[in-house]
Structure 1
Amino acid sequence: MLDLRPLPTRILQSLLGALLPSCCALCGGHAQAAVCADCERAYVLQTPRCPCCANPTGALDSMRHCGACLAHAPGFDATWVACDYAAPLDGLVLQLKFGAQLALAPWMARVLQTVIAQDASALPDVLCPVPLGPTRLIERGYNQALEVARPLARALGLPVAPQLLERLRDTAPQSGAAPGERRKNVRGAFGVDSTFDVRGRHIGVVDDVMSSGHTLEEIAAVLKQAGAARVTNIVFARTPPHA
């Protein structure tokens, strides 16, 4: 995978890697990042996806929307993802989210940067992470979406606005909600901070994983109601439709 980092950054990372060698989170071998180059090539596989919802299409033409998005257009306009939420990469998402393995976040951001660089679509004007509820943020001590958004914003040369989106109420984890209850679970859960003017702007919403898409669709609806012109999801992993 092409390394798009600036040369000084690559030199610094090489020096740090020599002085502070690390182990790959997947195979345990020597690595310059959280995941070694061999594992990255083996498991971070590009596949044709719907440009709107990022579900695999199984077709060579990834510019066409899938049938589901044509039948019912989501509130968001596009989705960039790095990989499917499947073994062994799903374990990395869980390590970041619940195991405080924060070193995984910059690696995920770099992989996402590579995916974005391969797309001719316009970059967002600003990135914002999906916010955690206050209770969950206190319990976890960090927001994994923000941990990915910060290095990604630096790599893309974009501002990041951690407070742009507000979590208006705590919700039950979507993973534990029945498929028919997930939309209801997040309805009215998000708002846009009144100090941010999103009118006419392209907003990039960053998260670690996208499953049913209801959370991101609710966020997109809130942003569009506030005047956003375009909403693009930027997520590391996408749960396959059958999961």
Structure 2
Amino acid sequence: MNCQPHAKPMVYICTNIEQFCLLCDEIAEQPYPLCVACEQALPWLDEYCLRCALPLPMAGLTCGQCSRRAPAFEQVIALWHYGFPVDTLISRFKHRRQWPLGRLMGELLGHGLRHRYAEGLAVPDLLLPVPLARRRLRERGFNQAGMLARWLASQLGVPCDERLLLRTRDTPAQQGLDAKARRRNLRRAFTLQRPGMVEGKHVALIDDVLTTGTTAQAIAQLLRKGGARRVDVYCLARTPKPGQA
């Protein structure tokens, strides 16, 4: 098994029974282009905070930060630790436009969410992707959160609105900033174009990675002020605390 994706163009037909795994190039023998061996080798998130999905040593616990001050969002659903090879897959999806990798991860997230719904997780009324700053959107050419939201909307049968939540100003990248700097960086960075659209609704915020949760917290507060009944966060991966394995 080789979990390093090939750099060659990756195009596949979803209805093709003999799909090839996008990670090792072997026949997948599954409904999606990922073989069983590679799927099992992914860094699945099994033990995490019940509120923010922070990786923890044991399951069924709430982290200290969420215990001291509950976030504005109700629950974070993440499939994986942000570690190899998921970190590589997300990076290639975002920065190298290898969209089949993003589609594959979005499909797996959709499978995971449907399983959670069957176990009692509340189904949201609306999916909202985290918006990109205009400058970054021009540079990248697409919003990875918006693509994930569209794919999830199709799988889950939940409507998605990519224009309701707006980023009103360009801010420096969050990478490398501590929690306080991240909060200052995001002050008044988001707005709702039509606040009444979320009143009384259960909203799920879509992003690729949750790091400190600062962005999710800022948007969740905005949505709650706009009248949202509940805000959840759906993402592909969750990072651990700095220095935590």
Aligned twin of 2:46: 47
> C-alpha distance in 1, partners of 2:125/2:187?
26
Partner of 1:203: 203
SS of 1:96's equivalent?
Answer: helix
What residue in structure 2 maps to residue 220 of structure 1?
A: 220
Question: How do residues 134-145 of structure 1 correspond to structure 2 at under 5 angstroms?
Answer: 134-145=134-145
d(CA) in 2 for partners of 1:66, 1:87: 24
Q: Give me the whole-angstrom Cα distance separating, in 2, the residues matched to 1:36 and 1:141.
A: 30
Counterpart contact for 1:34–1:103, Cα < 8 Å = no
Corresponding residue for residue 121 of structure 1:
121
Gaps of 5+ in 2: 1-12
Q: CA deviation at 1:111?
A: 1.5
Q: Which residue of 2 aligns with 1:13?
A: 14
Preserved contact between residue 106 and residue 152 of structure 1 (Cα < 8 Å):
no
Find the counterpart in structure 1 of residue 229 from structure 2.
Answer: 229
**Where does 1:143-182 land on structure 2 (aligned, <5 Å)?**
143-182=143-182
Matched, 1:66 2:63: yes
SS in 1 for 2:66: helix
Contact 1:34 1:104 in 2 (8 A): no
Q: CA RMSD in A?
A: 1.9
* Cα deviation code 1:146-182 (max 9, x no counterpart): 1111111111110010111100001111113244311
**Stretches of structure 1 lacking an aligned partner (at least 5 in a row):** 1-11
Q: Distance in 1 between matches of 2:188 and 2:175?
A: 18
Matched with 1:99 is 96
CA distance in 2, matches of 1:223, 1:46: 27
1:46 positional shift: 3.9
Q: Deviations over 1:51-80 (max 9, x none)?
A: 21001232242xx43222110111111100
Please list the CA deviations of residues 5-48 of structure 1 after superposition, one character each: whole Å capped at 9, or x if unmatched.
Answer: xxxxxxx7342x54xx5452x33434464543321121142412
Q: 64-73 or 119-128: which moved more?
A: 64-73
Q: 1:126·1:203 contact (CA, 8 Å) conserved in 2?
A: yes
In the superposition, the TM-score normalised over structure 2's length comes to 0.85
Equivalent residue letter for 1:117:
R
Distance in 2, Cα, partners of 1:81 & 1:242: 18
Identify the match of residue 82 of structure 1 among 79, 102, 107: 79
The code of the aligned residue for 1:37 comes to V
Give the match's secondary structure for 2:50: coil
The aligned residue for residue 38 of structure 1 is 37
The count of aligned residue pairs is: 226
Q: State, as a whole percentage, how many aligned pairs show the same letter.
A: 37
Once the two structures are TM-superposed, the CA of residue 98 in structure 1 deviates from its matched residue by 0.7
